[in-house]
Chain A
């Protein structure tokens, strides 16, 4: 198991390094940062001066090396727009995004897994149909629309919850539901399919033949095997939620990292965009790594992989 973890860790670092290089090159190729910084009215000399000031005239590899070494020390440079260190800017915004992401995935898992299990125990029952309806609706409904509906009902008409902002835990209820509901359908369907499959397997019959009770059969014998693909899916969705919650953050005026990414792209704030891409991809890498370790713990056959 330890060898497995070390192997996966090495792999994760390699992927992280590759991602950092690719994201840096892509931004490097995507336009002239000096021109963007100088603005539309600047003269050619001004642009040249800026280019030399920020070091954009040096070879790309040199710039990448410099950027990577500062990044490793936690220094992502200064934001062109906010005039603040990028690291503290992102750290500040990440609190909101992390809170939202964690709440969202927890909400999704807590609703989707039990619903998937029940749907699998009683296929074609009323609960199964309700679960199917919920998941189809969740997949079909755009997040911004669902968010607005919630605001209209719970904030404006009923007045139970604040419509926007991030001042208290109450502000996070609706965004959590919207974000979580987006991830729920896939998790639920995968849990249901996995459980149906596992419940038909021979080792479940063996467990019953031993005299194990239904609860034990379902949770000890079946769920552990059925949940394995769900773990991988949840990890990817978690990464997506942290990086891609821009829509939800905009609807509820939560100024998180997703919103920051949108702002920075719109303003050509190169250091911030670079740092955000790196941070978001690191999240994916970290969650995939965690999912791999979890799966190896759940399924011993994966430990040798």
Chain B
């Protein structure tokens, strides 16, 4: 096994609001090894994006971050000064955002924006940076790459812009790429291409990736490890193959029933849904956050929930088997 690149322990994010503190992320742990792809899956508002921004040190000023550890390689990100974080961002940790239409600066050319990170972090000439930009634009599958450098974002389509964003993130050959729903804003046909591209590039550059998504279909295709997030907590983490073959947490099973699975889902049968809505996280949150939507909830779900499973495949549930045995009893 290769070394751990990013290690996050007991990350908590609190957002003060008018009506009390919003406990957006509550005590989550995860780690990513070199060259590995971790996928964080969850619904909108589950805290996935906030988690990635917390790692980058890009949270808004009002959000309170606390953790036992956030370590990248040998750098303690909890104690890192602004200067150190700036040196890491765009250099060793890069990020791709979900809105390609608005994530590029409308006032500067593609060439300017592509070379910016490289010129900031490395001592290279502008010509060398531009050459690197062309190389990466070609790598992400953009035709007539050299002529794109002088174009502006508004002259490119959404798919092209997302490819530019990817190329931009790769300029400094980062060790870790955080992709926050990189395909959500794109056409379905483009989604698959972009995803394939990301997987190929991570393999080729031996880059670790945190892929944030709400699409389990995406996860199944690319992730080594999966972390299922619900209302600010990680309810289940484990190797992708295991989680898909034997989902332990009722929420994970619920999510998997929501997508068609070849060979398992009968043709014409209705896909599953998870009834109810995500609970409010304002004020004190105790017990299992999923209990309000869980078919197997019992009074004990209000108490602290034990960690089950083993170090590699873990989940949190009052039932030792994640209520799997209860499944048949409920219609």
Contact = CB atoms under 8 A, between A and B. Distances in A.
Interface of A: 201-203, 205-213, 221, 224-225, 298-301
Nearest to B118: A210
Interface string B75-119: 000000000001111110011010100111111010000001100
Interface of B: 56, 58, 86-91, 94-95, 97, 99, 102-107, 109, 116-117, 120-121, 152, 154, 165, 168
Given A300-B106, A301-B152, 15 more contacts: A202-B99, A203-B103, A203-B105, A203-B106, A206-B97, A206-B103, A207-B116, A208-B58, A209-B97, A210-B120, A210-B168, A211-B89, A211-B117, A299-B107, A300-B107
Contact of B95 (A209, A212, A298): A209
B169 to A, nearest CB: 8
B106 A299 contact: yes
Contacts of A221: 105
CB-based closest 9 A-B pairs = A210-B90, A211-B90, A211-B89, A202-B102, A210-B117, A203-B105, A300-B152, A202-B103, A209-B95
Nearest to B53: A205
A205 B58 contact: yes
Contact of A210 (B89, B102, B109): B89
Contact of B104 (A203, A211, A213, A299): A203
A227 to B, nearest CB: 10
A300 B87 CA distance: 30
Contact of B106 (A209, A210, A213, A225): A225
A252 to B, nearest CB: 40
11 contacts: A203-B106, A206-B97, A209-B56, A210-B89, A210-B90, A211-B121, A212-B86, A298-B107, A299-B106, A299-B107, A300-B106
Of B109, B116, B152, most buried by chain A (CB within 10 Å of CB) is B116
Contacts of B105: 203, 206-207, 221, 225
Of A201, A203, A224, A298, most buried by chain B (CB within 10 Å of CB) is A203
A150 B152 CA distance: 49
B102 A224 contact: no
A201 B102 CA distance: 7
Of A202, A206, A212, A299, most buried by chain B (CB within 10 Å of CB) is A206
B120 A211 contact: yes
A298 B152 CA distance: 12
Nearest to B91: A211
A99 B161 CA distance: 47
Nearest to A122: B61
A225 B152 CA distance: 14
A229 to B, nearest CB: 14
A205 B86 contact: no
Of B90, B91, B121, B152, most buried by chain A (CB within 10 Å of CB) is B90
Contacts of A300: 106-107, 109, 152, 154
Nearest to B95: A209
Nearest to A209: B95
A206 B65 CA distance: 21
Contacts of B95: 209
A207 B90 CA distance: 9
A1 to B, nearest CB: 12
A195 to B, nearest CB: 14
Nearest to A221: B105
A205 B91 CA distance: 15
Nearest to B57: A208
A213 to B, nearest CB: 6
Nearest to A210: B90
